Amino acid sequence: MDKQLLIMLAFMEGTGILAPFIFIFFHVLRQFLFIPVVLLCMAGGILFGSFLGTVYSMAGLLLLSALFYICIRKMPKTYEKLMNIKYKWFGRYNKMTVGQIAVLRLIPFFHYHLLNLCLLERRPDFRGFMKGAFATNLPLAFFYTVFGEFITHFSPTMAVIVIGSLLLLFYILREKIAIVTWEEFFKHTNQGKNPC
């Protein structure tokens, strides 16, 4: 595990009744310490057990998602960078479904806030975004809290099979159509031509 995560675990064991609040707040801080969400959810299972670990991880992830919703519009450069990454990975006109986002959250190397941006694109109002955040974070929190210990014992072959299955599920859950307005279509086709 990460050095910072081990320090956090040792610290939280000694805090007693404040441990859940510190754990929830640590979900917000973990991105600045470069600790993956997966490791923190596993730590929640170790510290609090499966049920409470899932509940506390969900509370932390929902708090993080709400802060993302509030802050991303106030940071236009970060928003543009995330949109450019989204265009490179998923295409300009693809809007991922909530099911696809939930599946991608289960794959450890996908950027958490990039998936939040895809969810924001799908559900731009706060209530819809938070419902989507709940639906996409629940499998992540539950899966890695409950099955975290077993996942660390997977063989490389089993890990490839699990990730391959998740990618297949991602493909199956995709939206089958993309809507492009005339203005957008002709704006992008005319950009490639050199005016004489």
| pLDDT score for 176 | 61
Residue 187 lies in a domain: no
Residue 102 is assigned to a structural domain of this protein: yes
* CA-only gyration radius of the chain, Å: 19
3-state secondary structure 146-174: HCHHHHCCCCHHHHHHHHHHHHHHHHHCC
Angle in degrees, 0-180, between the axes of helices 112-122 and 50-72, rounded to the nearest 10: 70
Q: Return the sign of the alpha-carbon dihedral for residues 34, 38, 44, 45.
A: negative
Q: How many folded domains does the chain comprise? A: 1
Inside any domain, residue 180: no
Enclosing domain of residue 112: 3-175
Which residue's entry shows tokens 């939206």?
A: 175
Mean pLDDT of residues grouped by 10 in the chain (196 residues)? Answer: 63 75 88 80 82 92 93 89 86 81 84 88 92 93 77 69 72 64 64 52
pLDDT value of position 96: 81
Q: What is the pLDDT of residue 46?
A: 78
- Model pTM above 0.85: no
| DSSP element (H, E) containing 85 | helix 76-90
Please tell me the predicted confidence (pLDDT) of residue 196.
46
Residue 56 has what pLDDT?
A: 93
Q: Is residue 49 part of a domain?
A: yes
